[in-house]
Homo-oligomer: A and B are copies of this chain.
Amino acid sequence: MLFANIAVLGEDFLVRENMYVGTKGNRIAYVGETKPEGNFGERYDGAGKLLMPGLVNAHGHAPMTLLRGYAEGLPLQSWLNERVFPFEARLTEEDVYFGALLAYAEQLRFGVTASADMYFFGEAMARAVLESGVRANLCLSVTCFDGRAFTELPVYKETCELLSRHPNDPESRLQVDACLHAEYTSTPKVAAGVGRFAVENGLRVHVHLSETQREHEECRQRHGCTPAKYLEGTGLFDAPGIAAHCVYCEEEDRQILRRHGISAACNPISNLKLASGILDAPAMLAAGVNLCLGTDGAASNNNLNLFEDMKALALLPKALEGDAAVLSAKEALRAATRGGALALGREDCGAVRQGCKADLIVLDMDKPWATPAFGREAQLVYSAQGSDVVLTMVDGRVLYRDGDWLSIDVQQVKEQVEKRARHIASEVGK
């Protein structure tokens, strides 16, 4: 496809007007100010449009769309224990498959081309990824409250099977990561086992870290140090990866993340909604940690429109620090795109650059809220809507365009999720 005469958000996070971007196969084959030679297939008229890298949702639980809006307004512990956990205990593989498909449909609509999703029933999630055409790092949530080793847990076997069916390959849209749910839901033995497993198999890790003050403080009592320090000690961070939330990370924690190549996935809306707190994003950037963005599950957001999280990321530090100049539009755009791609270990994604994977989105800028066109970069963060996305391409293939999903039967998926979610809710006895 040849995007012609289109505004482009470049690698420097500045927008240039009237550019040409050509894709061939699953790659970006040309970026320039002049029309390229050669055949790129369909010519896309870019007048009034803007092309940018697809957004990357670096921390999600895709199938949790099934729990969207379920049991709202309860305090956190009763919400989790009386509603969420009993609901999740009843989920089947097919439920998870349809829940993930609904998440990917929503993400495509809002310009998210890749995500890192932690859940269970890995093969059902893998089917959703492969069939829908999205890019995703999947991992199976590892928890353990007894004396077993990681290799003794059923989830170890499941992760190995998922890996053997879908071997990690730089050309594959699907990647399997190692996972530890969190410090407070596991043992040192299991954390060490997951770290060793990741290093031996060349996998990345994905973990929840210091999401709540309680978790952070109880870890101090249990282990005499912060969750980041503790997990470093177990060897979990010997593999690079993603630490989600990081709300209560301290300066030493940030240095640990930076040293080990662990990206911090900020989930600003979920952290507000669950009353967890607000990540100090400027401190994370100042420490040199790769900052990325996540929606978390739809049950605590309640949508997967990462444009909303990008705006929240840019806004919150301003009020907290009393300085309207902190966390620039450029930094927010980087976290939502390139930062996320690097967090997923996808070096060749998240940038409009020749040779990169063609994970691209087009926004319609011919909107009242995009007028006047002072500073397109700030517009993308502060005034653009996820619904301004008119085309979403993953791996060179157009998956959403002008109201139509080209790889997902969205009507069927909505009906399935509605039916399945209501059935489970009636069983839980809401």
Interface residues of A (CB under 8 A from B): 65-66, 68-76, 79, 102, 105-106, 109, 213, 269, 271-278, 298, 301-305, 308, 311, 315-316, 318-319, 321-326, 328-329, 366, 368-369, 371-375, 377-379, 382-383, 385-387, 410, 413-414, 417-418, 421-422, 425
Give the docked Cα–Cα distance between A311 and B302 (Å).
10
Decide: B74 and A315 in contact? CB cutoff 8 A: no
**Residues of chain B with a CB closer than 8 A to A301's CB:** 382-383
Of all chain B residues, the one with the shortest Cβ separation from A274 is: B324
Decide: B276 and A319 in contact? CB cutoff 8 A: yes
Q: Beyond A368-B102, A385-B386, is A272–B68 a contact (Cβ under 8 Å)? A: no
Give the docked Cα–Cα distance between A372 and B318 (Å).
35
Give the docked Cα–Cα distance between A371 and B421 (Å).
9
Decide: B324 and A273 in contact? CB cutoff 8 A: yes
Nearest CB of B to A371, in Å: 5
Give the docked Cα–Cα distance between A272 and B298 (Å).
24
Give the docked Cα–Cα distance between A319 and B315 (Å).
15
- Select A73's contact among B75, B315, B378, B414, beta carbons within 8 Å: B378
**Residues of chain B with a CB closer than 8 A to A102's CB:** 368, 371
Nearest CB of B to A381, in Å: 9
Nearest CB of B to A296, in Å: 12
Decide: A378 and B66 in contact? CB cutoff 8 A: no
Q: Beyond A273-B318, A385-B385, is A368–B74 a contact (Cβ under 8 Å)? A: no
Nearest CB of B to A78, in Å: 9
| 11 intermolecular pairs with C-beta atoms under 8 Å apart | A69-B379, A70-B372, A70-B374, A72-B374, A275-B319, A298-B383, A303-B383, A305-B385, A308-B308, A373-B418, A374-B421
Nearest CB of B to A261, in Å: 29
Nearest CB of B to A429, in Å: 14
| Listed residue (A105, A305, A322, A386) with the most chain B CB atoms within 10 angstroms of its CB | A322
**Residues of chain B with a CB closer than 8 A to A410's CB:** 368
Decide: B414 and A366 in contact? CB cutoff 8 A: yes
Give the docked Cα–Cα distance between A383 and B386 (Å).
12
Decide: A275 and B322 in contact? CB cutoff 8 A: yes
Decide: B303 and A68 in contact? CB cutoff 8 A: no
Decide: A302 and B382 in contact? CB cutoff 8 A: yes
Decide: B74 and A324 in contact? CB cutoff 8 A: yes
Decide: A382 and B325 in contact? CB cutoff 8 A: no
Q: Beyond A302-B383, A324-B75, A385-B305, is A272–B315 a contact (Cβ under 8 Å)? A: yes
Of all chain B residues, the one with the shortest Cβ separation from A410 is: B368
Nearest CB of B to A420, in Å: 8
**Residues of chain B with a CB closer than 8 A to A417's CB:** 371-372
Give the docked Cα–Cα distance between A371 and B410 (Å).
11
Nearest CB of B to A153, in Å: 31
Of all chain B residues, the one with the shortest Cβ separation from A376 is: B69
Nearest CB of B to A327, in Å: 10
Give the docked Cα–Cα distance between A79 and B325 (Å).
10
Give the docked Cα–Cα distance between A72 and B374 (Å).
9
Decide: B382 and A303 in contact? CB cutoff 8 A: yes
Of all chain B residues, the one with the shortest Cβ separation from A66 is: B372
Decide: A375 and B72 in contact? CB cutoff 8 A: yes
Decide: B382 and A74 in contact? CB cutoff 8 A: no
Nearest CB of B to A169, in Å: 30
Nearest CB of B to A100, in Å: 12
Of all chain B residues, the one with the shortest Cβ separation from A386 is: B385
Decide: B414 and A374 in contact? CB cutoff 8 A: no
Nearest CB of B to A7, in Å: 14
Q: Beyond A325-B73, A372-B418, is A378–B302 a contact (Cβ under 8 Å)? A: yes
Decide: A79 and B368 in contact? CB cutoff 8 A: no
Give the docked Cα–Cα distance between A173 and B3 (Å).
46
Decide: B368 and A414 in contact? CB cutoff 8 A: yes
| Listed residue (A273, A328, A374, A387) with the most chain B CB atoms within 10 angstroms of its CB | A374
Q: Beyond A65-B371, A109-B368, A369-B305, is A323–B383 a contact (Cβ under 8 Å)? A: no
Give the docked Cα–Cα distance between A272 and B387 (Å).
23
